[in-house]
Amino acid sequence: MGRMVVQHRANSRTSHTEQPSKAEPAAQTVKVSTTSKTTKSKATSRPKAVKPTTNAVKSATKPAAKTAAKAATTKATAAKTTKTAKATHKRVDAETARANAALKGLVGEAPAPTIEVKELGQFGRINVMDVTPDEERGIFPARVELGEPFKVTAQVFIEGRTKVGATAIVRNARGRETLRRRMMCTNPGLDRWEVTLKCGEHSDLKPWDEGYAAVKRQLGEWTVTVEGWEDTYTSWLHDARIKVRVLDDVDNALNSGAELLARWAVTLDAKLTVRDRKTLQQAAETMADESLTAEERLAAGDNPQIAALHETNPLRDGISPSQPQRFKVERPKSSFAAWYQFFPRSEGATIDPATGKIVQGTLKTSIAGLERAKAEGFDIVYLPPIFPIGVTNRKGRNNSLVAGPDDPGSPFGIGSALGGHDTVDPLLGTMDDFKALTARAHELGLEIALDFALQCSPDHPWVKQHPDWFRHKPDGTIAFAENPPKKYQDIYPIDFNADMEGIEKEVERVLNLWIDAGVTIFRVDNPHTKPVRFWQDVIAAVTKRHPEVLFLAEAFTRPGMMRALSYVGFTQSHCYFPWRNTKEELEEYLPVTNGDDGYYQHNTFWPTTPDILTAYVRDNGIAGHCVRAVLAAMGSPSWGIYNGFELLENKQRPGFEEQIDNEKYEVKVRDWSKAKKYGVAEMLTALNKIRRSHPAALSYHNLTVLESSDPNVLAFARHTSAELTGTGQADTLIVVVNLDGHDAHQSMIHLDLDKLGLPTDRPLAVRDELTGREFQWGWDNYVSLAPWVDVAHILSVQ
């Protein structure tokens, strides 16, 4: 049956913890019944009697001593069975016994049984299909960060008009149940049910922090099982209300309900407290009392107290588990992260007053960049390649083909006579300097992400050591990189066809070297130009030794390739967010990033990069920078900023969507004291503070686009229920953005309070996290945003 069928694991704990055990039908005999159906049920639940004829035959063929021993054993077994039965009888308390007496003689229906599924493709008593997420037939598990809320859906149904329910069970990597939640039917016509879950609790601990070992133990492959079940109570209640109202077959309806409540009270799967059991037993006794009116009897089982028990501890008949869905639970910062990029050679760069020439920065002066990133609230610092830069065909300023005598070249033209990917550029410092940088970063609570561009300059040591790793032209020369009409004469691309295994081993060696120096994340340049299998092998080998290491893919390419890279281990990915600027584009793109795609491809939103400067950022000034920062920080759990954004560096190179005087080809000297007059750095700091303070910002699976009447005003909400926030209180953020960086706009914003799980019986008190102002909101709300006052509201529901 399609992609999903109900499957029962032979060694599943479900048969012992989530389904009624084989002993439970016997427990139902606390309902005293005179019907032949119930009597038969009792008989089949008792231990089988010893067959004396069989024993006699065996005794005739064995020595007398063995026959006597066998008889003694049989007698002991019978005595033990009788003793166990008596002990079980003694456990029935007085309240249950009183309910038994009241229910004696009532006629009940057999509950739906749990049908064992013995092979793939068999259905249980309830039908469970199409459990999502389940890409590629479940070969690649969905990926979530520890404690990240996520959504699971399924089709759950039964024949006829009988009501069903569904429960999702979360189990950790050791098979222990950690969470159990009722699912909601969101589309009755399609039998679609959904629920929001989480695997473990959110943590901000870094791999080097004390206590991280406890986080590490929680990582790995978790499972979610959807259990469909017959909702006997709801089915009964629907019919009983009608029959009492029209006085049709009332006694039978109410006596059936009394027996149902009594059975519910002793069902182990319901996990009831003693008080809950007594509540149900008393309700059953009242409902069975024919001296009361029909309305009084029905009210005993149709009231808020019983409804609350049905919500939290329902009677689940015919439990039918789905095949467990696998989830790869990853460490903190695999989904929820804030990146900050700077070039070490520009950090701390100065102009020599004597010569007027630029003196580039070093790894030692880059400490200032770490401190700025920390002050603005970021938690990952991303460094471009820090390896020696080639001389042959070195690029000049603005990607010119001829470099001047003082041009430093592109750090992506990797390798020279000084070394390759395993060497620190001497102009930046030494390996010890780099280790000191990562140590300081860790003291500040920052992770270091290092760019890994798998390409070489013509001067790279690999060119001589491994000439077969490069593609040669018919004339014997090595082909430089190109993407016609673009040409990269300073780079030789790797050819993986001749010796991919050898290249893999060398890359693994290099990555492990930098990990030992303190790197915990690699941002990989253009991974889509290399074989997917290559990355699959490399990432598997590296993470087997260092499971804490994360990988980000800088892959602006086709969706299939981006998805494949995520399957093989790229935890996060660059994406097309910079080019999604209109309301229509964003309303379409945000749900994609924050939907099923988010189980595999964790899009990281960057407003700009060294390679990207869009017309929107160029044309909308300070307001435009703040708008894009708000959208990036609140539109995705993972976002990043390329430094210089705070200084409004927004001049394009003519004819290209990238900066003029690009930092990739020259050293930048910046005056960071000017950042205060723009206020962009202040906005970045505020956004990171809001993100850290609100659990709703953590997930790729909780965003809802809101209706807004103005074409320049975008609105969306993030909501996480109280059970999943870790604080015991629901968390809702409402983001409203004026996309026009020049003019004010007014709009009506519609909130579907029911859908968002918000109160509908009173006004909502909301607080703007950017300004501290407070408002009252409801279903429809008026908003006015002027770029010179407020570019956005980020409202938290109080």
Phi, psi (deg, nearest 5) at residue 527: -70, -20
Banded model confidence at residue 104, pLDDT cuts 50, 70, 90:
low
Judge whether 490 is annotated as a binding position: yes
The strand pairing partners of 132, in sequence order, are 153
Q: What's the chain's average pLDDT?
A: 88
Instruction: Name the helix (H) or strand (E) containing 64.
Output: helix 64-90
Judge whether 42 is annotated as a binding position: no
Residue 290 neighbours by CB distance under 10 Å: 12
User: What residues does each domain of the chain span?
Assistant: 14-36+93-330, 37-92, 342-456+511-692, 698-797
Superfamily designation of domain 342-456+511-692: Glycosidases (3.20.20.80)
- Whether 66 has a pLDDT exceeding 80, the answer reads no
Q: How many Å apart are CA 52 and CA 754, to the nearest integer?
A: 66
CATH code, residues 698-797: 2.60.40.1180
Question: Which pLDDT value is given to residue 494?
Answer: 94
Judge whether 455 is annotated as a binding position: yes
Residues 6 or more apart whose Cβ sits within 8 Å of residue 302: 237, 240, 241
The residue type of 628 is R
Using alpha carbons, list the distances in angstroms from residue 501 to 133, 504, 538. 33, 5, 10
Judge whether 664 is annotated as a binding position: yes
pLDDT digits (tens, 9 = 90+) for 669-720: 999 999 999 999 999 999 999 999 999 999 999 999 999 999 999 999 999 9
- Which one-letter DSSP state was computed for residue 390? -
| Contact of 569 with 595, CB cutoff 8 Å | no
Using alpha carbons, list the distances in angstroms from residue 226 to 2, 218, 730, 740. 17, 22, 24, 45
The percent of residues in the chain predicted with pLDDT above 70, rounded, is 86
CATH code, residues 14-36+93-330: 2.60.40.10
Please list the active-site residues.
525, 554
The two tokens of residue 242 are 């009608």
pLDDT digits (tens, 9 = 90+) for 583-594: 999 999 999 999
- Whether 88 has a pLDDT exceeding 50, the answer reads no
Fold agreement between 14-36+93-330 and 698-797: yes
- Whether 30 has a pLDDT exceeding 50, the answer reads no
Judge whether 22 is annotated as a binding position: no
pLDDT digits (tens, 9 = 90+) for 521-536: 999 999 999 999 999 9
Residue 212 neighbours by CB distance under 10 Å: 16
Question: Which pLDDT value is given to residue 481?
Answer: 86
Q: How many Å apart are CA 378 and CA 446, to the nearest integer?
A: 8
Q: How many Å apart are CA 428 and CA 421, to the nearest integer?
A: 14
Question: Which pLDDT value is given to residue 24?
Answer: 37
Question: Which pLDDT value is given to residue 135?
Answer: 82
CA 290 distance to own-chain centroid: 53
pLDDT digits (tens, 9 = 90+) for 324-380: 999 999 999 999 999 999 999 999 999 999 999 999 999 999 999 999 999 999 999
Verify cis geometry, omega within 30 degrees of 0, for the bond prior to 133: yes
- Whether 457 has a pLDDT exceeding 50, the answer reads yes
Using alpha carbons, list the distances in angstroms from residue 232 to 23, 33, 261, 276, 338. 20, 19, 10, 18, 49
Q: How many Å apart are CA 253 and CA 239, to the nearest integer?
A: 8
Q: Looking at the chain, how many residues does it have?
A: 798
Q: How many Å apart are CA 264 and CA 709, to the nearest integer?
A: 50
pLDDT digits (tens, 9 = 90+) for 275-311: 999 999 999 999 999 999 999 999 999 999 999 999 9
Banded model confidence at residue 96, pLDDT cuts 50, 70, 90:
low
